[in-house]
A and B are shown apart, each in its own frame.
Chain A
Amino acid sequence: MNRSESRSEYRAKSSAYWRANIALIRNLLLIWAFVSIGCSILFVEALNQIQLGGVPLGFWMAQQGSIYTFVILIFVYAFQMDKLDRRFKDSVKNIDTDSSSTDTN
């Protein structure tokens, strides 16, 4: 494999990693918007018709449920990104790296 080939292969892996990251961010932000903007503000009156324990559901989403969801979303992101990071590093490991590999950090 020559240098320009392995470089373009690396670029392809790198952009696949980035696309997967963007897709994950998009999905999690959709949930984020659904619980906060959707359930807690836009559709709160409708959800308030349902009771959860002793409180209306829409009110509970706004003052409790959305916050719990936010915490879970961040941990899901961190956890999923660990997996993506690992897969990316494994996939680029096989590309010829014997020459001037530099740690950019």
Chain B
Amino acid sequence: MTVEVWTTILVIISFITYLYIGWRSRVKDTKGFFVADQGVPALANGAATAADWMSAASFISMAGLISFLGYDGSIYLMGWTGGYVLLALLLAPYLRKFGKYTVPDFVGDRYYSKFARLIAAIAAIFVSLTYVAGQMRGVGIVFSRFLQVDISTGVVIGMVIVAFFAILGGMKGITWTQVVQYCVLIVAYLIPAIAISQTLTGNPIPQLGFTFSDIVEQLNGIQVDLGFQEYTAAFANKSKVDVLMITLALMLGTAGLPHVIVRFYTVPDVKGARYSAGWALLFIAILYTSAPALASFARYNLIDSLHDKTIEEVQDLRWATQWEKTGLLGFEDKNGDGKIQLTPDDDTNEIKIDRDIIVLATPEVAKLAPWAIALVAAGGLAAALSTASGLLLVISSAVAHDLYYRLINPAATEGQRLMVGRFMVGVAIVVAGYFGINPPGFVAQVVALAFGLAAASFFPAIVLGIFDKRTNREGAIAGMLVGLISTTAYIVMIKFGGAEPWFFGISAEGFGTIGMVLNFTTTLIVSRFTPAPPREIQELVANVREPDHAPEPLSDIGEEQLD
């Protein structure tokens, strides 16, 4: 059977599974819809979080990025994993103890302010919308490359599938589909990685082959021969300060992204929140430690099989000619010597390699069976759909719960709230689909903004809300506004205004760290000069800090009633 037939079969099987799970987990109330009845076991929530987190970009583009950046690609590896330590130690257990439905819920309640809730809700919607557009685009691209379906048709098919399980099952449907999607995507990622590791290093475990073979050393040698920096050389493309700031901004942003935080509301208790953060990072780490191995293997392999070869030799490679057709791989014998060469200089370089090809073409380069190649398509779709569905739910809950129920119509019945929630998922899917079909030019630019804003707004507001009882409404609002405005201003200046990164050479992606520091400082100072939070808020904080089900002697409420 051909790759295309296999792809069709695997994609249809996986879609039917997602639809079946969505139907099985349909919900009747808002607790089920927004937080999956708080009944998701820690291990399952870990897998769901991992699928939620790893997007089309992690699956398709990250290894490629690393293979072009070498050491400097570590900003993504550490940035997108280190945040989970912050999440597990500083946020997740306390937010679970708090026990409400959304991130703006915590901000609004802790800072006893509708305005704070409004800022948080708008930031959550903005951050999630930017992110989801890219996912829908990813769905379309996978469809078009593997099934020769038009991108728009691919996006529409993806929309229908997500709409089905997200509208019926809300967070519950999304969670259980994400568990399955994690399994699909990790198998799809590991099979080619293991195969190419076995071929190049003789060790089937990519992490070990990467560390204990001489492949990286050889790659260093080849890179230097071709005029590139050594693959392992630090700070070849970015300065040390910039690498530090970007890594930190990605970590803080990861810990502050609402669609990740909200997953920890769905476990049964505080203990579950701690362990599921561990499981989530373990599941993520399986892919994230394979990616740098795959990146170096693929780079070695590409240079080895293409560089200094004659045009005829290259045309004999079936995968090379096939990917040339897609435009992701291109050859041009510029100096007319009958051979093609890879060089760091654009004017003399004769091989054009798109970074997405690293993951997408590896199975063919490693000469895997057609079904394994087809699995990569199903895996890419699983990665994109799972992330999209998690983001859609955040948008829906921010509108239906925070804006509609808590701010506009507090008298809304359970049925009305559930209906608005379902309706908003539908609206969000249509908006996301529209951006997927007509991608605005600014999508790539605003992803930096999503992380920067999450780092500069949510992270400090939540951490101080838990760890500093003295932080009050005035401080938190001032801090969030300073963080949001400074970060937006800097990123817009650089990405849209064309300014040089004037602040210590920190690029737009790294400014979230500075925004976070500004937010922290502002919040602490303003809080000290304004009235302390009311007593019931201090009690809320005290309660959030204690383990759940602690026997409480003579509860404060009881004693007050005696007075």
Taking CB atoms, residues of chain B closer than 8 Å to A88 are: 546-547, 550
Q: A49-90 toward B: CB 8 Å interface, digit per residue (1/0)?
A: 000111110111011101110110111011001101100110
Q: Which of A55, A74, A101 contacts B553 (CB 8 A)?
A: A101
Whether B247 contacts A10 by the Cβ 8 Å rule is no
- Specify which of B85, B232, B269 is in contact with A74 (CB 8 Å cutoff): B85
The verdict on B464 contacting chain A, using a C-beta distance below 8 Å, is: no
Interface band, chain B: 35 or more
The answer to the question of B292 belonging to the interface, with a C-beta cut-off of 8 Å to chain A, is: yes
Q: Are B244 and A63 in contact (CB under 8 A)?
A: no
CB closest chain-A residue, reference B93 = A81
Give chain A nearest CB distance to B84 CB in angstroms: 6
Q: Other than the known A7-B553, A42-B240, what 6 A-B pairs have Cβ atoms closer than 8 Å?
A: A59-B232, A74-B84, A97-B551, A97-B552, A99-B558, A105-B548
A83 to B557 Cα, complex, angstroms: 29
> Which of A37, A85, A102 is B547 in contact with, Cβ under 8 Å?
A85
**CB within 8 Å of B: which of A15-46?**
17-18, 21-22, 25, 28-29, 32, 36-37, 40-42, 44-45
A93 surroundings in chain B (CB, below 8 A): 551
Closest to A96 in B: B553
**Which B residues lie within 8 Å of A59 (CB)?**
71, 216, 232, 234
Give B contacts to A, CB under 8 Å: 66, 71, 73-74, 77-78, 81-82, 84-86, 88-90, 93, 99, 207, 210-217, 232, 234, 240, 243-244, 247-248, 251, 269-271, 274-275, 277-278, 281-282, 285, 288-289, 292, 467, 542-543, 545-555, 557-559
Known A-B contacts A68-B285, A68-B289; the reply to A62 vs B74 at CB < 8 A is yes
Given contacts A10-B553, A40-B78, contact A71 B281 (CB under 8 A): yes
**Residue ID in chain B nearest A76 by CB atoms:** B278
Partner of A89 from B89, B244, B547 at Cβ < 8 Å: B547
* Cβ–Cβ < 8 Å partners of A74 in chain B: 84-85, 88-89, 274, 277-278, 281
Cβ-defined contact, A54 with B244, below 8 A: no
Chain B residues in 8 Å Cβ range of A58: 234
B81: chain A residues within 8 A (beta carbon): 66-67, 70
Residues on the B chain within 8 Å of A55, using CB: 210-211, 216-217, 232
Q: How far is the CA of A40 from the CA of B247 in the complex (A)?
A: 11
A52 CA / B247 CA spacing, docked (Å): 23
Residues of A within 8 A of B (CB): 3, 6-7, 10, 14, 17-18, 21-22, 25, 28-29, 32, 36-37, 40-42, 44-45, 48, 52-56, 58-60, 62-64, 66-68, 70-71, 73-75, 77-78, 81-82, 84-85, 88-89, 92-93, 95-97, 99-105
Q: A6-B553, A60-B211, A105-B549 are in contact. Are A100 and B558 (CB under 8 A)?
A: yes
Contacts of A64 in B (CB 8 A): 207, 210-211, 289, 292
Contacts A55-B211, A60-B211, A64-B210 known; A70 to B554 CB distance under 8 Å?
no
Pair A100/B555 contact, Cβ less than 8 Å = yes
Contact A89 B550 (CB under 8 A): yes
List chain A residues, Cβ under 8 A from B545.
Answer: 14, 18, 21
- Of A36, A63, A77, A105, the residue contacting B88 (CB under 8 A) is A77
Question: 25 A-B Cβ contacts within 8 A?
Answer: A6-B554, A18-B545, A22-B467, A36-B247, A40-B74, A52-B211, A53-B211, A59-B216, A64-B292, A66-B82, A71-B278, A71-B285, A75-B278, A81-B93, A82-B271, A84-B547, A85-B270, A96-B553, A97-B551, A97-B552, A99-B554, A101-B551, A104-B552, A105-B99, A105-B269
For B274, the chain A residues whose CB sits under 8 A away are 74, 77-78, 81
**With A44-B234, A52-B211, A56-B232 given, is the CB distance from A67 to B289 under 8 Å?**
yes
Contact partners of B88 in chain A: CB under 8 A: 74, 77-78
Query: Which residues of B lie under 8 Å from residue A95 when comparing CB positions?
Result: 553
Contact indicator B211/A101 (Cβ below 8 Å): no
Give Cα distance in the complex from A88 to B271, angstroms. Answer: 14
| Contact of A70 with B85 at beta-carbon distance under 8 Å, contacts A41-B247, A64-B210, A88-B547 already known | yes
Q: Are A32 and B247 in contact (CB under 8 A)?
A: no
Q: Do B71 and A62 touch (CB < 8 A)? A: yes
Q: How far does the alpha carbon of A71 sit from the alpha carbon of B77 in the complex, in Å?
A: 13
Which chain B residues border A101 with CB–CB below 8 Å?
A: 551-555
Among B215, B240, B285, B551, the most chain A Cβ lie within 10 Å of the Cβ of B551
- Choose among A32, A70, A73, A88 the residue with the greatest number of B CB atoms under 10 Å from its CB: A70
Contacts of A17 in B (CB 8 A): 546-547
In the assembled complex, how far is the CB of residue B459 from the closest CB belonging to chain A, in whole angstroms? 14
- In contact, B285 and A70 (Cβ under 8 angstroms): yes
B291 to A, closest residue via Cβ: A63
